[in-house]
Amino acid sequence: MNSWTWGFEGYAGERESLREALCTLGNGYFATRGALPECEADGTHYPGTYAAGCYNRLVSEVAGRRVENEDLVNLPNWLPVRYRVADEPEHGLGPGPWLTPAHESLTDHALSLDLRCGTLERHTWYEDDDGRRLSVRQLRLVHMGDPHLAVLRSEFTAENWAGALDVEAELDGAVANTGVKRYRQLSHRHLEHVETGEAAGHRVWLGCRTSASGIRIGMAARTVVLEGLGVETGEAAEAPVLPVRHGDRRVTQRFRLTLLPGATVVVDKVVALHTSRDPAVSDPLHAAVDRVDRAPGFERLLEAHRTAWQQLWRRAEVDVPDHAGRVLRLHLFHVLQTLSPHTADLDVGVPARGLHGEAYRGHVFWDELFVLPYLNLHFPEVSRALLGYRHRRLERARFNARDAGRAGALYPWQSGSDGREETQQLHLNPRSGRWLPDHSHLQHHVNSAVAFNVWRYWEATGDDEFLHTKGAEMLLEVARFWADKAAYDDALDRYRIRGVLGPDEYHDAYPGAKQPGLDDNAYTNVMAAWVLARALELMEELPDPRRRELAERIGLHHSELALWEDVSRRLHVPFHNGVISQFHGYGELAELDWNGLRHRYGDIRRLDRILEAEDDTVNRYQASKQADVLMLGYLFSPGELRGLLRRLGHVLDDEMWWRTVDYYLRRTSHGSTLSGLVHGWVLARVRRAEAWEFCQETLESDIADLHRGTTGEGIHLGAMAGTLDLVQRGLTGLDTRAGVLRLDPVPLPELSEYDFTLRFHGHWGVRLRMRPGSLHVSVPDSGVLPLDIELPGRSVSIDPGRAATLDLPEPPEG
């Protein structure tokens, strides 16, 4: 296999869910897991299809309570193509069983995921007791050029025999959301009013709608058989077509193929998908039937699909050697399948688990904090659309704040269709089997993530129009919330933010407390101070007419700005023993017996579940799930972070910061895929050997399923995008403030040579080539002003159409 191809040899039932997630194909509008077309959801396989933003709400009875959950809906399954040896009456034999890789006649099986072309190929061989060999080759794609189309080509070859093969091609509306085992106790049937039909030209259709959100779904398929010359010409061959079967929420096309020794018969299935959420579509079923009728044949569809992927790869090119490069390319592939240029036309957010499965119910958390920095420099139109998702829910965020008795806007920790808080009320601990209260809705730091993304998008793009309009409204309303949430403490002569949760998530209350929430989470407070400072800066920089309009629009009084200034300089940041405290009182908690737990359990990433099953709680201990305080070192350069703390009245020198890093390194279980990314990023500046260990874990987390079965429920999009940004910004020290590309590279010994392209302030395809001791920058020809670049102690300006090689100092020994 080359660096563009991922291969999976043999059939391994226990690994199928992981393979299906990693082999998901999508285009930003919808995606389909890499399940085998002949397999149904059965505990081993799970052929899920998901359209971005297509949610539905159901009520369930859990532990004696009625709870409501909103889920990304598993749509009708378009994949099914079943096959079996037909009946042989002359031998007194009936039809054989439908063949699957689990059948005893299987001799070999392989999957190949082609990242360059965005296709998944499977090849399976069967041999029965009489020595008859059947080869099955399939190639599928979810079209990157036309986001409403998908194609599955099946090739059947009787290698040494002649006979008939029955084939069924189906659209299946009898699906449910059962892809996550711990959710199966909840209500999971989202589709209703399933209707099926057929039309001329080998077409069938299926229509349905979601039960509560009322989203109408239209799916149509055109299935044709090609044999003999038809394989080359794309003409439909004459083959026995049996009556279409309707029933049980399915529509099934049936064919009987005549196989000759060594000859291949091809079955092409083209599928179209529309929903009532689509712009400029009034009837999704009519649109799907019409689109599949107008779709060209397989070869032309494949060619257009490949071209679309080539264009994406040119805009997002990353060239890193060896195994790390292969994994990074896979990560980029899945990011682009979830958030492509088609996303720019949709009202969707960043689903934490991609469009690859049902974990986290397809909800939007804070993961854009890790995703948008990469997109900003490659697909800024997608970043703007994702920020538009937040702006369209700004009114609802205002309602959330008002309901909490606060001013401004409060974005939900988990978001779905309409911006209300979607965080579950109860969560299941699989270790203890107990349903427990879920207080993670108190992670109000998601508010700062929204504001941070607005500001960083503007820095990377120079999009003043967005910042001065929608961006300003979001940023100022978030600032308003923090200023109101912060309460003055006379004893400390500081403002405090109480009753929140930080990114750690393990700690949701003080030991023995009756109410959830913690006081003065350092990350939350510092980020709130940053938001307030940026809001003040923005108000100073806005054109006077726009400043006046904005103040009138949101009812902003000048007295509020004085409060923002005061709070931004006097928010409390707790310390203990010379380190930044994760929250007030963290240093007074008990120390944990880390070695004892590792000896008893081995993998202790989900420390919270382990302790709860022991009738204990992580709230008692100095122990963190993931980076919390250290997130500050991920989001801000050392100079920025020192400036932030200085504004708050603290001196943060290198010794204190690294003492803080060491302290939390010893007390973090890394129960999140994001934890290794953040630690690797922070450590890369000095401790290169340690940094690579964490970077490597993040690279391997999904492909090796390090978190024990979670990847099969959906990839971790934030971690995947974060590894790309590690190369793009972390190792280069790239900063985009003030319209200048600032770079302060610190290459890892294991990753010291790499190339990537980016888009910055009108410059498309700027290439940066990093080598030990040098940085080569080439700027494509254009009518844009020269590109300004700053390195430590040096500035250069490169004209469009020119290139420069810049010498770099040797990095200090870590």
Active site (catalytic) residues: 505
Element (H, E) at 318: strand 318-319
Residues 269, 151 contacting (CB under 8 angstroms): yes
Separation between Cα atoms, residue 705 and residue 715, nearest integer Å: 9
How is 589-615 classified by DSSP, letter by letter? SBPP-HHHHHHHHS--TTHHHHHHHTT
SS3 call for 733:
coil
Residues 259, 113 contacting (CB under 8 angstroms): no
Residues 281, 274 contacting (CB under 8 angstroms): yes
Query: In the 8-state DSSP scheme, what is residue 730?
Result: I
Separation between Cα atoms, residue 519 and residue 307, nearest integer Å: 53
* The Cα angle at residue 641 between residues 758 and 656, in degrees rounded to 5: 130
How is 159-212 classified by DSSP, letter by letter? SS--EEEEEEEEEE----S-SSGGGTTS----EEEEEEEEETTTEEEEEEEETT
Separation between Cα atoms, residue 395 and residue 470, nearest integer Å: 12
Of 259, 328, 271, 229, the residue nearest 85 (C-alpha): 259
Separation between Cα atoms, residue 169 and residue 252, nearest integer Å: 6
**What number of helices (H) and strands (E) belong to the chain?**
22, 32
Q: How far is CA 383 from the centre of its chain?
A: 13
Amino acid at 120: L
Separation between Cα atoms, residue 452 and residue 449, nearest integer Å: 5
Angle between helices 673-684 and 717-725 (to 10 degrees): 10
Give start and end residues of each alpha helix (H) in 636-748.
638-647, 654-665, 673-684, 688-700, 717-725
What six digits make up the tokens of 204?
Answer: 């069938």
Separation between Cα atoms, residue 346 and residue 490, nearest integer Å: 48
Residues 717, 723 contacting (CB under 8 angstroms): no
